[in-house]
Each structure stands twice: as C-alpha cells, then as structure tokens.
C-alpha cells in the first residue's frame, strides 16, 4: 500500500508516569516513517485507558485510526502497510535465529584470525567458527534448560532412554566449544563433541529422513521455531568433524 504524505493518523497510546507503552512508540515511529502526520493522544491513567478500550470495544492499546477507520495495534499496522502478512498467513517456522548465530560466529572467528595472524583466511578461523557456533548454540539452550530438554525428548534417542541427558547435553556442548576455542584439554573436548554430535546426528536423521516427522529443532533452545532437519543435522556433523579433527591433531600433531 503506497504511503500518502498528506494523511493524518490518529493514535491512542498509554503514556503514564510509571509506564510508557513501547508498542505505542513503535506505532508512532512507523506511521511517521510511512509519511503520516500523527495526531498523538496520550492515555495517562488506567481509568482513561479502560474507558477508551470499553468505548471502542478493544482489549489492548495502542490503537491507530486512519480516515476514521480503526486499523488496530502495532502488528495490525504492519499488516496494513504490507510489511507483514496477516497472522493466519504467517509461518510458524523461522531460520532467523540460526542465521544470526552462524553469521556472528563466522565474523567472530574471522576477527580472531585477523587479530592473531593478520589475515582472516586461516585454518584456525574455521576451527573457531565451529567451536564458537557450538558455544553460542549452547548458550541458547542454557537460557531455559527445562524447555530445551522437553523439546529434545521429541527426537533424541539417548534422551528418550535416559531423560537427564537432555539437561546434560547443553553443558557438554558448551564445555566442548569453550575448550576447543581455547585449544585446551583436547583429550576431553574432542570425545565430548564426537559423542554428542554422533548421537544427535543419528537421532535427527532417523526422526526426519526415516520416520518423516515434522518437528521443531531444540538446537537454539526450547522456544525454537527452527524446523528439525538440515540445520540441526549440520550442527551435529560440525561437532563430529571438529571432534575428529581436534582429536587427530592431538594424537598426531
């Protein structure tokens, strides 16, 4: 929908001494970026807010009106400007968390390589990319171990046989990733990465490619919208490769 710089939008949002509605600010900013002059009405008390919601038959604020027609809250405003699809058309899957993690890990690895060796294209940079990815992914899981372990039980073969493994896994991944980043205690980090990577790869392959199950991956935590499949299999294959590589370096130099 093209923006009309001559229009005025009317916005009602909560601006109280102890609460400034963030979605009200986001709505005002979005309207202004779309070229609208905002007739900004502040709801300064709980009573005033409740009266407004009762009058217009709504349950939330902010509320935006354009040409006398109520558009709705911030999410509705984004749909109105064709910035988001309607909620019933929005996908319940997303690769954004994984893209963010791997991108940041790659940039960190290149930065470390530049700092240490004066160039970004080194074998150590590749090692750091994998170990840092493991560490960041572990952080995601450790934010809510209970939720992660519950989702993990949907497909991990070892966790289904020994339930506590779901809570041990993120600590093992973090330990292996940190030690591999430091290049320390390879005799410990390599076997841990190889073990959890192998169990994970077999579990994911069975669930997705043999059983054909449509599941969410617990790889980025218990609230993940990442579908179980290629990404989670890649995470486990990276751990296997890193475990074998670091182990072989420690044994053969």
Cis preceding-peptide flag for 69 (omega within 30 of 0):
no
> Is residue 203 over pLDDT 80?
yes
| Confidence (pLDDT) at 76 | 93
Q: Please enumerate in sequence order all residues whose Cβ is within 8 A of that of 22, keeping only pairs 6 or more positions apart, or say none.
A: none
CA 151 vs CA 145, 147, 252: distances in Å = 10, 6, 39
72-83 pLDDT, tens digit each = 999 999 999 999
* Cα 34 from chain centroid (whole Å): 28
> Is residue 22 over pLDDT 80?
yes
> Is residue 53 over pLDDT 90?
yes
Paired strand residues for 69:
66
> Is residue 1 over pLDDT 60?
no
Greatest Cα pair distance in the chain: 77
User: SS3 string of the chain?
Assistant: CCCCCCCEEEEEEEEECCEECHHHHHHHHHHHHCCCEEEEEEECCHHHHHHHHHHHCCCCCCEEEECCEEEECHHHHHHHCCCCCCHHHCCCCCCHHHHHHHHHHHHHHHHHHHHHHCCCCCHHHHHHHHHHHHHHHHHHHHCCHHHHHHHHCCCCHHHHHCCCHHHHHHHHHHHHHHHHHHCCCHHHHHHHHHHHHHHHHHHHHHHHHHCCCCCECCCCCCCCCCECCHHHHHHHHHHHHHHHHHHHHHHHC
124-164 pLDDT, tens digit each = 999 999 999 999 999 999 999 999 999 899 899 999 999 99
Q: Which residue has the higher pLDDT, 244 or 2?
A: 244
> Is residue 225 over pLDDT 80?
no
Q: What is the dihedral of CA 228, 234, 235, 236, to 10 degrees?
A: 90
Average pLDDT of the residues in 177-188: 95
230-243 pLDDT, tens digit each = 778 888 999 999 99
pLDDT band at 251 (very low <50, low <70, confident <90, very high): confident
| Confidence (pLDDT) at 222 | 54
| Confidence (pLDDT) at 213 | 85
Would you state the structure tokens that stand for residue 90, as one six-digit string?
Answer: 């929005």
> Is residue 227 over pLDDT 60?
yes
**Gyration radius of the chain over CA positions:** 25
243/194 Cα distance (integer angstroms): 5
* Whether the model pTM is above 0.85: no
CATH for 8-89, options being 3.30.530.20, 3.40.50.10860, 3.40.30.10, 3.30.930.10: 3.40.30.10
Q: Backbone phi, then psi, for 130, in 5-degree steps?
A: -70, -45
> Is residue 253 over pLDDT 70?
no
Number of neighbouring beta carbons within 10 Å of residue 166 = 22
Average pLDDT of the residues in 202-227: 80
134/146 Cα distance (integer angstroms): 19
26-49 pLDDT, tens digit each = 999 999 999 999 999 999 999 999
| Confidence (pLDDT) at 206 | 94
86-134 pLDDT, tens digit each = 665 555 667 788 889 999 999 999 999 999 999 999 999 999 999 999 9
> Is residue 6 over pLDDT 80?
no
Would you state the structure tokens that stand for residue 136, as one six-digit string?
Answer: 């960041």
């Amino acid at each position: 929908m093209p923006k009309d710089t001559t229009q005025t939008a009317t916005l009602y949002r909560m601006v109280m001494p102890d609460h400034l509605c963030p979605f009200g600010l986001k709505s005002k900013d979005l309207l202004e970026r779309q070229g609208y002059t905002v007739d900004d009405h502040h709801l300064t008390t709980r009573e005033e807010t409740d009266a407004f919601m009762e009058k217009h038959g709504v349950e939330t604020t902010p509320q935006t009106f354009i040409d006398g027609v109520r558009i709705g809250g911030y999410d509705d405003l984004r749909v109105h400007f064709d910035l988001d699809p309607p909620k019933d058309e929005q996908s319940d899957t997303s690769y954004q968390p994984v893209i963010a993690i791997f991108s940041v890990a790659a940039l960190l690895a290149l930065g470390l390589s530049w700092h240490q060796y004066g160039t970004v294209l080194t074998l150590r940079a590749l090692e750091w990319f994998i170990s840092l990815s493991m560490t960041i992914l572990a952080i995601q899981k450790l934010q809510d171990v209970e939720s992660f372990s519950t989702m993990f039980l949907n497909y991990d073969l070892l966790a289904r046989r020994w339930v506590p493994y779901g809570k041990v896994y993120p600590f093992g991944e973090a330990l292996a990733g940190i030690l591999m980043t430091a290049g320390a205690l390879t005799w410990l980090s390599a076997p841990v990465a190889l073990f959890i990577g192998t169990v994970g790869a077999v579990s994911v392959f069975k669930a997705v490619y043999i059983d054909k199950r449509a599941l969410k991956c617990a790889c980025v935590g218990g609230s993940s919208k990442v579908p179980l499949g290629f990404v989670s299999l890649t995470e486990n294959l990276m751990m296997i490769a890193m475990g074998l590589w670091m182990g072989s370096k420690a044994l053969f130099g």
